[in-house]
A and B are shown apart, each in its own frame.
Chain A
């Protein structure tokens, strides 16, 4: 069976959930082989968790340049492995970095690029949700090895035993005339909350929250559920919450098990980023708000009454 390469998303020696989702999806097509690109010593920290999701092999591409330059070291590593392993497909996460890595890789290899898949089958045919979730498309690569970015949260991760045999990959030195140097990183300050694309529950606030201070109500409910906090574009534009947390067409696209929208009207801009969520709960004062058209459970009411009560109920049940 041919290998399916999975680019590993990791931070501080921890593998992100989306990688387990990709390894699960890769098993449908062939033998999942994880690709770790990072600072020296990274693979040793992540190998075991990759084995737990069925990685038969772990390609190790480690160097100082690997973390010193943007995007290109990952493309270099994947291109080198593709040349020697002739995989059936390459899967990366459909994140800001992942979309760029997959695009460059496909261009370099001269193969078909499939963007932001929400599902993938054994033949490598993908399902995509386009135009803000209004249209469902099935497509496939017609030339070469398909390079696919997969939307975080769209595949249910399943554990499996894998040998995770390490194999070193020689990374070429990065040419600074062709790559941007990373001079500093400032990780997102989200406290102990999960990242938006990783969370299985997301609680978002909109214009109805009314102020930056009042976002407290959203955060408290999120914390009771172990959820990530999101915000609509209207809330971000009003300065209630930082832009990095914006959910929507021009922000982050999320696909959690549960999405709770507080004081969000549900304009297409917002729906585009959340309507593939499995379950949607909405609270809004305006009974006419379009968010109710897509909500599985809607409450017409004041979020400042409903959300704290829900927070309390959740806390009670957790006891």
Chain B
């Protein structure tokens, strides 16, 4: 019966205006609506499918400010059993590596975990590397960008999908898996699930609780620094024509003029 940890993240909604704060180039959390990242719903779904088939327990782990509670509650209302929420003002402005360190420490708090499941890439930072870094820090195999996950006892098989095609992977538990968007269709929380989620335990931890020095995290201690950030001048629309039977030729003329063909 696998003991599964699912990582979830609250992100600014892709369909609202996303920007960085002018003062320190951190994410401007007030400018955009906050949602549970879509790929995380698929991670939760995959964990629940494994639990339904093989038993075990699903623990949600999230690192983020207090309002990440909404994302955690959503995962719990889908059917996860409990949650660990790392929330600490000291984390503000942490970069990818710092965040991964905190996640690794938080996963370590879940006793006897067998499997960590995450989304392959968040829609905001898009580093696409946190699950791999987590595997590095935990010293376990990474089976990432999965479009299919099979667990047989302690043997894990994954079909990885990338630009290169499909790679079949195999490793023993414990391991880190990240899922791609073709893995499954996440369920909607039921009314019963939403009510039950309110009673499920959520443990809130600070970085000190994880044994991490506050001097290792946060904007001032990050190993990378944003020097400047500016909204990209919007691409201006160029020429536009209405097809009157010669649209294809018009495009060809344009491409020739631009020396593209």
Contact = CB atoms under 8 A, between A and B. Distances in A.
B211 interface: no
A96 interface: yes
The 10 closest A-B pairs by CB, nearest first: A301-B243, A309-B248, A103-B129, A313-B252, A100-B132, A96-B162, A188-B165, A310-B248, A296-B238, A306-B247
A96 B128 contact: yes
Given A140-B227, A142-B225, A185 B127 contact: no
Given A70-B160, A114-B224, A188-B163, 14 more contacts: A99-B128, A99-B132, A103-B100, A107-B133, A132-B18, A134-B19, A138-B228, A176-B171, A178-B140, A180-B175, A185-B165, A250-B38, A258-B260, A309-B246
**Most chain A CB neighbours (cut-off 10 Å) among B157, B161, B163:** B163
Interface residues of A, number: 98
B164 A317 contact: no
Contacts of B145: 96
A115 interface: yes
Contacts of A307: 248
A103 B134 CA distance: 9
Contact of B243 (A11, A72, A114, A300): A300
B109 to A, nearest CB: 19
14 contacts: A137-B226, A138-B229, A142-B223, A176-B172, A180-B142, A180-B158, A180-B175, A184-B168, A185-B166, A186-B165, A295-B240, A297-B251, A306-B248, A317-B256
A225 to B, nearest CB: 7
Interface string A182-207: 11111111000001110001000000
B14 interface: yes
B248 A258 contact: no
B171 A181 contact: yes
Interface stretch (A28-36, A48-56, A159-167, A275-283): A275-283
Interface stretch (A19-27, A57-65, A81-89, A123-131): A123-131
A162 to B, nearest CB: 27
B144 A100 contact: yes
A298 interface: yes
A293 B160 CA distance: 36
Nearest to A195: B163
Given A188-B165, A298-B238, A317-B256, A112 B223 contact: yes
Nearest to A177: B172
Interface in B23-46: 25, 38-39
B163 A197 contact: yes
B97 interface: yes
Given A107-B97, A185-B165, A188-B164, A305 B129 contact: no
